[in-house]
Amino acid sequence: MSESRPLFLGPRLRRLRRELGLTQAAMAEDLGISPSYVALIEHNQRPVTADLLLRIARSYRLDLGELAGDDGAETTRRLTDLLRDPVFAEIDLPALEVADLAASFPGVSEALLRLYGAYSRSQAALAEAGSGGGDGAGQDPVAEARRFIARHRNFFPSLDARAETLAAAVAEAGDATTYLAKAHGIRTRVLPGEVMMGSLRRFDRHNQQLLLDEGLDGASRAFHIALQVALSDCRADLNELLRQAAPSSPTAATLLRRQLTGYAAAALLMPYARFQRAAAERLYDIEVLSRQFGTSFEQTAHRLTTLGRPGQEGVPFFFIRLDAAGNISKRLDGAGFPFAAHGGGCPLWTVHQVFGGPQRIVTQWLELPDGQRFFSLARVVRSGGGAWGRAPVERAVALACAAEHAPKLVYAKGQDPARAETTPIGVNCRLCTRAACTARALPPIGREILPDDYRRTAAPFTFDDS
């Protein structure tokens, strides 16, 4: 970029301000400028001076090179990916025109990207309706809780800050059990399953006792104790987040409170700064991190999706947990991975293929029809059991990150994302345009199926190209 070229950072500055939860007035106060000037910069009506760029970087502890990078190049890449959609197939769109649009008309470019995002979501809704999954999702309390978590990118700084303070207090007390006894007068007892009568954890408020099933493994026991600490010490923070969420039903409120309390408990076991530093140093080796923090594979993988603190970010991950039937019991997106909420996933993704095998990590490079590439790792996890006659529950968990982040992981160390052999997958069959896929279960939306009286192919459907 030429030194004489004005630097316009409008959309980037607006994203930064919103991610930090700041008003224009608050950002203006931080930077020593007027709120109206912040508004002009955000609308690309004023360039960012070198002095202001330095103030932004210092105030919010950002990397100067990343902040001043060519935002037009990123917008050009996003537009190029968008224009690969088959709906644009007959339009001549030279790369130079796309680059000119991104550089000269950032507002129009952002509008186009948002419009395409809305179009993609409507296509997904049609796919869900066609597969029987789109009935009243707007009132689904599970979906409501997930949307709130997604809006915050699964990062809640108030809970992380509180958990770091609590972790120091727990360490000073010796352990969480001692802390509960000293700070809250709560005694922790481990009891046989027949005494617990089906409960893994129960708080006896009358006698101030935390009762735990003796069948819990070490990581699960530590997590349930951490849950009690979170419920005892993070109540104000949890209530404030619930107030912000304004859940539409008691069920949605209960589910959201459960997720946020679990977040606080995980943050207590894996305090942000220490965990983020260890993750980077250990190249995100989940098994090593599990042993270091005394947590399970799933707990550790889940925690890796929460590393969004400005200046101390981790690799952005998508996380999913599902059973052998494909039912999704947990989904967290920090990597922009386009996963369908209903209607089944792509069977070519190895997360659907690890059941019944050993508890080993399976890695895979993925490529979507629009050219986006991701790196995935999946493994079976087992919970429950712990005593004769108790059947364990088997699920698969997977983490996925954008391909460019993969070299930061021990699982892809030394591999070149540009040269990696990828598996072509789709979001789901209804939204996938790969006509020749032999694993297809349903035809894509908008494609006419050709009669097969005279010819059959390995793929289950043959489509009209017109």
Domain boundaries, the chain: 10-69, 72-130, 135-269, 303-427, 435-466
So what's the pLDDT on residue 443? 81
pLDDT on residue 288: 98
Could you tell me the two tokens for 113? 């990207």
- 293-329: per-residue pLDDT in tens? 999 999 999 999 999 999 999 999 999 999 988 888 8
Q: With contact defined as beta carbons under 8 Å apart, do 231 and 159 qualify?
A: no
Collapsed DSSP state (helix, strand, coil) of residue 333:
strand
Could you tell me which of 107, 109, 86, 87 has the C-alpha nearest to residue 98?
Answer: 109
10 Å Cβ neighbour count for 352?
17
- DSSP codes, 342-393: SS---TTSGGGT-TTS-S--EEEEEE-TTS-EEEEEEEEEEEE--STT-PEE
pLDDT of res. 464: 60
What stretches of 246-367 show up as alpha helix (H) in DSSP?
A: 250-269, 272-281, 286-293, 297-303
Alpha-carbon distance of 412 to 364, in angstroms, equals 10
CATH number for the domain running over 10-69: 1.10.260.40
The pairing of strands 209-213 and 187-191 is parallel
CA 235-239-240 angle, 5° bins: 120
DSSP annotation of 69 reads S
Low-confidence ranges of the chain (pLDDT < 50): 1-3, 129-138, 466
Is the domain covering 303-427 a CATH 1.10.10 domain?
no
Query: Which residues, including other chains, have CB under 8 Å from residue 14's CB and lie 6 or more apart?
Result: 42
User: CA nearest 167: which of 270, 281, 311?
Assistant: 270
Fold agreement (10-69, 135-269): no
Convert the pLDDT of each residue in 129-181 to its tens digit.
444 444 344 467 888 898 899 888 899 999 999 999 999 999 999 999 999 99
Which stretches does DSSP call E strand in 151-268? 187-191, 201-204, 209-213
Among residues 118, 196, 149, 154, which one has the least CA distance to residue 387? Answer: 196
Q: Establish how many alpha carbons lie within 13 A of residue 137's alpha carbon, considering only the half-sphere containing its beta carbon.
A: 15
Question: Angle 286-293/272-281 helices, nearest 10 degrees?
Answer: 140
- Looking at residue 398, its pLDDT comes to 94
Q: Helix, strand, or coil here: 399?
A: strand
pLDDT of the residue at 80: 86
For tokens 């770091």, name the residue: 164
Identify which of 32, 34, 28 has the alpha carbon closest to the alpha carbon of residue 13: 28
Strand partners, 129: none
| Sequence letter at residue 385 | G
Amino acid in the structure at residue 282: R
Q: Which CATH number fits domain 135-269: 1.10.10.2910, 3.40.30.10, 3.40.50.261, 1.25.10.10?
A: 1.10.10.2910
How do residues 54-93 score in pLDDT, each as one tens digit? 888 888 877 776 666 555 677 888 888 888 877 777 788 8
State the Cα–Cα distance between residues 458 and 160, nearest whole angstrom.
Answer: 52
CB 370 within 8 A of CB 81: yes
Residue 225 · residue 294 · CB < 8 Å: no
Which element (helix H / strand E) includes 330? strand 328-333
CA 267, distance to chain mean position in Å, is 16
Could you tell me the pTM of the whole model? 0.69
